Chains A and B, each alone.
Chain A
C-alpha cells in the first residue's frame, strides 16, 4: 500500500471513475456529482489482478456546483475488464428534494407532445439553455456508463459536448433519448464520437446503450481517425455497403481482412434459404 499525492492526475482520475459509477448507477439526473478535490489517496498493487485505489474526495453538484459533501471510494483497475468501484457518499443534500426534482424532470420530459431535439449542448459559447438542462443531465448520467467502461488507470474521459439529442416518445411511459456525444480523452487528447441511447424508466432505472466510433481500435498505427482530424476527411456514408475501395485504406484492409472471425456464417434455418 503506498500513499499518493492527492494533487496527482492518477488521484483525480480515480475519483472521477468512482463518480462515473455513482452517476450512472444512481439513476438520478438531479443527483449527479462532480469532483471538487481529492483529500486522501493511496494505492495497492494486487498481484495478477491490478491496482486498487483508496480515495477520500470532496464533491459538488454537477449542474449547480454547490458543495455536496465527501465520498469514500475504492477503484480497482483490472487488466481486461472495466474498473470495479465501491463508493459511499455523505448525504449533505436533502434526498427527498433530489427525488422530487427527479420526478419533476421525469414528468416534464415524459409529457412533451413534440419530441425534444437539440444540437450542441453546450453551444460554441459554452451556454446551455435552461430548458435543455435536463437533456444535458440525462446525457451526463448515460455517458458515465461509457466513461466507466473505458476508463483505465492512465486513461480518463470527460463529456465534451452533446452534438445531437433527440427524444423518442414512448407509449410505456419511459423517457428515451438518442444522443451523439463527444468524449474528451486524456492524455491522448482525442475526441471520441459515440452514439448513445438512454432509457429512463418509471422506477428510476436508467440504462445507456452505446457504440463509439473508435471501438475495436487496438491498432496504434493511424488507421483510426479521431473526430478532430476525421471531420476533415470523412468517408462517404455506408448504408449501401457495395462501394469502391479507396487506396488509402488498402493498408488497413489488409489487417482487417485477416480477421478469422469475419468468415460468413449464415443462419441455417430453412426459412431464409427459401428466398435465395
Chain B
C-alpha cells in the first residue's frame, strides 16, 4: 500500500506540471480482448464519470474517453498498471502544431514575392498616384497635405505570420522573466497605459509591455509624430470587425470632439457601404468594441492629433483574420471613399 501511495504522490506532482489543468480526452488503444473488457468496466463505473467519445470496439482500434480532472489520476494509474497504452489528445494536438512549425521553418526557402505584401495599402497608394492631376479633390488634397504611409508597423511580427504562426498578433520582443514573447503594440501607447482593457501578463495577447513605448515599433512612431510637430490626422488600420472608431478606448468618457468625430465616421461608413454594401458600425472604441487601454489613436488624440481613427476592416468573423485574398482589392476599393472623407474633412477644417 505504501508503494502505491508514493506512486500516487509522484503522479500528483507530475500532473501539476502539465500545461492543461482540467479534464482530458485520452485516446486509448487496447491490445487484446481482456483490455477491451477492462475498458468497458471502467466506463461502467458511474463515480468515475467517464464519457466515451469513441467506444472500445476491438483491439488495435482507438477509443476516446473524456475523463474529469478529479478522476484523472485514478484512470491513468489504472491504464498504466494494466499495460493499456494511451495518449492525451490535446497534448498530441500541441505536438502536431509544433511539428508543423518545424516543417514550415524547414521549407522556408521561398523567394520573397510580391504576394507577401499588403496589397490593400498599395491600392490606396495607387489611387493617390493615379488621380493626382485628374481628380480635383485628390489633387487639392495632395497639394495641401503630406500623407505618410507606414504599410507594416510590425515587420518582424508580420514576417513571423508567414514563417511560423499565421495568427501571431504581437511584436516579437523578448519579455524578461517570461517564456512568452511579444507585446501588443496597440496597448503599448502612453494613454491610459496599463488600465483595464490591457493585460500585465506577458503571455496574454493584449500584454501592454513593461512600460509605455517599450516597443521600438511604437517608439519610432511617437518620435516621428512629436518631432514632425504638425501631424493633423492619424489612421490606424486593423482587422477584423468592420468598424470605424475614434477615441477613447481607455475610458468611457466621450472625447471633447466626440460629436464631430462621430458625424464624420457616420459619413465615412455610409460612403464605404455605398460601394459593395459592406456594413460597418462606428463610434468610440469603448462604445463600439471594448475598453482598450494604451491604444495608438488615444495617444495620438491626447498629443495634438484631433482626427485619430481606427479602421477594423473586413470581415465580421466568418473568415476573420484569414480573409480570402480575393477580398483584398474589394476591401481596399470600398475603404478608399471612407479614407477620402476623413482626409478632405481634415483639409477643410485646419487647426
By a beta-carbon cutoff of 8 Å, the part of chain A in contact with chain B is 5, 7-9, 12, 16, 34-37, 62, 65, 119, 122-128, 154, 158-161, 163-164, 168, 180, 182, 184, 186-191, 193, 195, 197, 209, 211, 213-217, 220-235, 237-239, 241-243, 245-246, 248-249, 252-253, 256-257, 259, 261-262, 264-267, 269, 271-272, 275-276
Contacts and interface: CB of A to CB of B under 8 A. Distances in A.
A10 B181 CA distance: 31
B51 A209 contact: yes
B133 interface: no
A164 B96 contact: yes
Contacts of B101: 231
7 contacts: A124-B166, A160-B167, A222-B201, A222-B202, A228-B165, A257-B12, A266-B74
Contacts of B90: 193, 195, 211, 213
Contacts of A186: 289-290
A156 B289 CA distance: 11
A54 to B, nearest CB: 19
Contact of B287 (A8, A35, A223): A8
Question: 10 smallest A-B Cβ distances: which pairs?
Answer: A216-B22, A261-B70, A126-B324, A158-B317, A253-B16, A187-B290, A189-B205, A229-B180, A215-B22, A222-B201
B54 A8 contact: no
Contacts of B97: 163, 193, 227, 231, 234
Interface in B30-82: 41-42, 45, 47-48, 51, 53-54, 64, 66, 69-71, 73-74, 76-78, 80-82
A187 B292 contact: yes
Interface residues of B, number: 99
B192 interface: no
A187 B18 contact: no
A122 B169 contact: no
A119 B96 CA distance: 11
Contacts of A216: 20-23, 69
Contacts of B259: none
Given A188-B206, A232-B180, A161 B18 contact: no
A42 to B, nearest CB: 17
A126 B10 contact: no
Given A231-B165, A238-B88, A241-B76, A213 B17 contact: no
A75 to B, nearest CB: 17
Given A234-B97, A239-B92, 7 more contacts: A187-B197, A211-B89, A217-B21, A229-B182, A237-B88, A257-B12, A266-B74
B319 interface: yes
A122 B197 CA distance: 29
Interface stretch (B218-226, B275-283, B342-350): B275-283
Nearest to A195: B89
Contacts of B317: 16, 34-35, 158-159, 184
Given A215-B20, A239-B91, A275 B82 contact: yes
Contact of A243 (B17, B74, B165): B17
